[in-house]
Amino acid sequence: MTQYTMQDPRTQYPQPSFDKQVQEAPGLAKEMTPKPDHGEETYRGLGRLDGRKALITGADSGIGRAVAIAYAREGADIVMNYLEEESADAREVIRLLEAEGKKVTAIAGDLKDETFCKDLVNKSVDAMGGLDIIVSNAGKQTAVEDLTDLTTDQFDATFKTNVYAPFWIIREAIPHLPPGAAIIVTSSIQAYQPSPHLVDYAATKAAEKAMVQALGAQLIEKGIRINAVAPGPIWTPLQPSGGQLPESIPDFGKQVPIKRAGQPVEVAPVYVFLASQEASYVIGETYGVTGGNPTG
């Protein structure tokens, strides 16, 4: 089967309940049960990004990994960023991308560091001979039940990862991006329906959405499009490594109309569309991929 095989979406992927599981942050896909589907066996490309040059943050697992696989199979060369602690997952992605015959450059580092974000852009340009797609996907999400337990350090780290890093990367990249380039930011359903235990995370996702809207009109003056994707509950290492309260994991995703968590591969096609020339008239928008939860 591929993403084009008609199926009942309710039963297409595993449904709750999941096994109880907890990982240390940032978490690894290889340690999850069931394993997330990033499209390793199912995503079939059609050449929609032939010759393109993409920088993807958080590309070792989850949505970033699914996007990297999809982009490579659509014809793009990839620079993938991840944390050193995620190297085990990153090595699997590198093998998958190289198997597609595409150029892949792996750059580990912490996006909370402004200097690293600037270097990441410039190394990407050097590695690929240019840059015309940016996927700002890496994110920090840590559930905290009571606001009095939400530390300033966590609040700061969440904003640095989720808001400052995209700002630093996009600002550094603008002089390198040609007309026709595309930027995609990963926001969240939390920008519309914030959970009480994700105060800092929800605030950053709302900020990302607003930043994309503001930059949409500004960047199109340079011929650059920027949009966002707002996923709902997606089965990624972010969830069992602190993104959800441990007791929430077995029924993760059960609350949405489709009654299950989404898989990373189900989100990737939206990133392909937004990066491709097919989305030439889509500017400053946020696309929901939420299993039926409304974003308006």
Enumerate the active-site residues: 201
Question: Which amino acid does the sequence have at 47?
Answer: G
Q: Say how far apart CA 147 and CA 144 lie, in whole Å.
A: 7
Q: Cα(180)–Cα(78) distance, rounded to whole angstroms?
A: 17
Strand partners, 107: 81
Place of tokens 């089965």: 235
B/e letters for 233-270, b = 16+ CB within 10 Å, e = fewer, are bbbbbbbbbbbbeeebbeebbbebebebbbbbbbbbbb
Q: How far is CA 268 from CA 37, 105, 133, 179, 214, in A?
A: 11, 20, 14, 23, 24
Kind plus residue range of the DSSP H or E element containing 133: strand 133-136
d(Cα 97, Cα 285) in Å, to the nearest integer? 29
CB burial of 213-228 (b: ≥16 within 10 Å; e: otherwise) equals bebbeebeeeebbbbb
* Full 3-state SS string of 11-30: CCCCCCCCCCCCCCCCCCHH
Closest C-alpha to 127, from 50, 51, 53, 49: 53
SS3 134: strand
Helix or strand (DSSP H, E) at 235: none
Structure tokens of 36? 């997330």
